Amino acid sequence: MAEYDIVIIGAGPAGLTAGLYAARANMSAILFEQKGPGGELLNTDLIEDWPGEESITGFDLAEKMRAHAEKFGLRIEVKGVARVRSEGDRKIVELEDGTTHSAYAVVVAVGGEPIKLEVPGEQEYHGRGVSYCAVCDGAFFRNMDLAVVGGGDSAFQEGLFLTRFAKKLYVVHRRREFRAQAILQDRLLSMEKVEPITPAVVKRIGGNGEVKWIEIERDGTPERVAVDGVFIFVGFRPVGRHLFAEHIDHDPDGYLITDQYMRTNIPGVYAVGDTRAQLAKQITTAVGDATTAVLHAVRYIEELKHAEKAFPAAPREAVAETVNRMEPVRAMAGQTIMRQGDEPDAFYLVVRGRVAVYRVGADGEEREVNRLGPGEFFGEIGLLSGAARIATVRAVEPSELLRLDEEAFRKLVSSSSATREQLEAVARERQAASSR
Ligand code: NAP
């Protein structure tokens, strides 16, 4: 089984950006993609909302993103992922070819698939006049009458592409108002060859082996519209959740739910781009998601390694869960992190820098009793005893710590009897040393 820091699934703009950032962070990373780099970009003719490129074809932008990520060392393999499952602190990625790969973190950037109209004739004529991609199939319909179905950005953008080939283009939409961006509406609907048919519902697609007509219902009246091709853009269904053996949180439409760092509920699993629940499905947001996810994943992996050293007896999945719940805290040199006499409410793991532990003795004088560095922890005595803090901790140099709240600490303690014993032994030893 090959081992990586990060496995990225999907090579659209989100996946390629995740790959670029992972490679630049010197992570051992691999990207698996089912079809070939580009994702939705390859189904898009012209992109006009990617900053810095007034107008670029989807193909060219995909190519640039792929080349850029590979230049920094990203490995891309065109292989389908069948399943992802957790094993301890690792994610096991099973490929369709039967091989398995393990990683500390997985970035899910798989986007989705077009929603079908689910009308008679749609499946039968798929590839014979029914299409879900104008860029892929438009050129087969030179000088023919076509219909796009849908009122969103995709229908309008793809419709604009189809006007290069179509003799006549109908825009069939179930409501009178379109939801596409105004600029796209203005461009498409102002063309002479374009005719909107609204509010109209497609009931059936038919022909003679090739599409020849669609049957629609407008204001309750059925009508037959002669067309040679139907391009369907009625939305998009995310597919990320189907990859997971265990439960992954998603909204009612199947979009994966994340926090601000793109973390899903499974520690070490991040969701980015169109498969994630969010307001916009844009290249710019997908790229932003991926950046955040990888920057966080890099930190998560480093923290996980520290935590595993600190709690060797804890089950690996409990450590991953603990790290997922830890909040980063920065302390300047001299800054107090914990104060003697305070109520205990948190536990800390040192990631970078150094802290010193002080106790006020019977003479009222404060003395340094210990120094702690990366991989060492403090704060367990108060949480285990329930009594006030018996020491003050201050950073002796700029330091980074991870803070675990009381509830998460109790979960870690109860993850195994060996973990409890380890923490209690450390607490006992420290108490004895500081009272000497
Ligand atoms: P969308 O925005 O969800 O629009 C789907 C359209 O199909 C809507 O007009 C909807 O009608 C209609 N529809 C849904 N189910 C239908 C059904 N069963 N029968 C008939 N019509 C149906 O999907 P999209 O256009 O594929 O876009 C997906 C996302 O990608 C959006 O967030 C979009 O902004 C983004 N995108 C952006 C660009 C860009 O240029 N920046 C390009 C493409 C896509 P209602 O309006 O009545 O709901």
Give me the half-sphere count of Cα atoms (radius 13 Å) on the Cβ side of residue 125: 28
Q: Is 125 part of a structural domain of the chain?
A: no
Give the distance between the most distant pair of CA atoms in the chain: 100
> Are both 109 and 164 inside the same structural domain?
no
pLDDT of residue 434: 73
49 alpha carbon to ligand 1 midpoint, in Å? 17
* Ligand 1 within 6 A of CB of 416: no
Other beta carbons within 10 angstroms of residue 24's beta carbon come to 15
- Which residue is closest in CA terms to ligand 1's atom 18? 117
Q: How many domains does the chain have?
A: 3
In a domain, 124, yes or no: no
Q: Is residue 316 part of a domain?
A: no
100 & 18 share domain: yes
> What pLDDT score does 361 carry?
86
| Residue 431, pLDDT score | 87
* Cα end-to-end span (Å), the chain: 51
In a domain, residue 31? The reply is yes
Say yes or no: CB of residue 275 within 6 Å of ligand 1.
Answer: no
In a domain, 376, yes or no: yes
Q: Is 176 in the pocket of ligand 1 (CB under 6 A)?
A: no
CB of residue 157 inside a 6 A radius of ligand 1: yes
**How far is it, in rounded angstroms, from Cα 296 to Cα 108?**
14
Q: State which ligand 1 atom lies nearest to the alpha carbon of 118.
A: 18
CA of 115 to the centre of ligand 1 (A): 10
Domain final residue, candidates 253, 276, 310:
310
- Assess whether 305 and 351 both reside in one domain: no
Residue nearest to atom 43 of ligand 1 (CA): 154
Q: Of the candidates 349, 392, 357, 356, which has an alpha carbon nearest to the alpha carbon of residue 374?
A: 349
Q: Which residues contact 259 (CB under 8 A, 6 or more apart)?
A: none
From the CB of 163, is ligand 1 less than 6 Å away? no
Tell the residue nearest (CA) to atom 9 of ligand 1. Answer: 151
Whether residues 249 and 294 share a domain: the answer is yes
Joined tokens for residue 210: 């090739």
**ω before 252 within 30° of 0 (cis)?**
no
Distance separating alpha carbons of residues 148 and 108, to the nearest angstrom: 31
Cβ burial, residue 380 (10 Å; 0-12/13-18/19+): buried
Dist CA 76 CA 15 (whole Å): 10
175 lines ligand 1 (CB under 6 A): yes
Question: Are both 177 and 198 inside the same structural domain?
Answer: yes
Q: Based on the domain organization, do 164 and 247 belong to the same domain?
A: no
How far apart CA 406 and CA 95 sit, in angstroms, is 39
Distances (CA, A) of 233 to 43, 141, 275: 12, 17, 17
Instruction: Judge if 14 and 69 occupy the same domain.
Output: yes
Query: Which tokens belong to 244?
Result: 């997971």
Regarding whether 371 and 405 lie in a shared domain, the answer is yes
* Domain final residue pick, 180, 199, 232: 232
pLDDT for the residue 432 = 87
CATH number at residue 385: 2.60.120.10
Are residue 330 and residue 400 in the same domain, yes or no? yes
Does residue 78 lie in a domain region?
yes
How far is residue 182's CA from residue 204's CA, in Å, rounded to a whole number? 30
pLDDT of residue 436: 67
Q: Is 151 in the pocket of ligand 1 (CB under 6 A)?
A: yes
Clarify whether residues 88 and 175 are in a common domain.
Answer: no
Residue 60: give the domain boundaries. 2-113+236-310
- Residues 282 and 379 both lie in one domain: no
Which CATH number is 188's domain given? 3.50.50.60
Query: Which of 212, 42, 200 has its CA nearest to residue 124?
Result: 212
Same domain, 335 and 427: yes
Please enumerate in sequence order all residues whose Cβ is within 8 A of that of 280, keeping only pairs 6 or more positions apart, or say none: none
The series of mean pLDDT values per 10 residues for the chain, 436 residues long, is 96 98 97 94 90 95 97 97 96 97 98 95 95 91 97 96 97 97 97 97 97 95 97 95 96 96 97 95 96 97 92 93 93 97 96 95 91 95 95 97 95 94 94 78
Q: Is any atom of ligand 1 closer than 6 Å to the C-beta of 153?
A: yes
Alpha-carbon span 41 to 289, nearest angstrom: 17
Encoding tokens for residue 7? 């496995």
CA distances from 38 to 14, 100, 234, 369 (A): 10, 24, 21, 58
- Nearest residue CA, atom 14 of ligand 1? 234
CB of 174 within 6 A of ligand 1: the answer is yes
Domain assignment present for 318:
no
Contacts of 192 (CB under 8 A, 6+ apart): none
d(CA 115, CA 126): 13
Number of other residues whose CB lies within 10 A of the CB of residue 291: 17
Pocket test residue of 174, 178, 237, 289 for ligand 1, highest count of atoms within 8 A of CB: 174
Q: Which residues of 140-161 are buried (b: 16+ CB within 10 A; e: fewer)?
A: ebeebbbbbbbbbbbbbbbbbb
Give me the pLDDT at residue 161, please.
95
* Any atom of ligand 1 within 6 Å of the Cβ of 50: no
Q: Which residue has the tokens 């961006």?
A: 181
Pick the last residue of a domain from 310, 341, 361: 310
Burial (Cβ within 10 Å: 0-12, 13-18, ≥19) of residue 406 = middle
* Residue 418 domain flag: yes
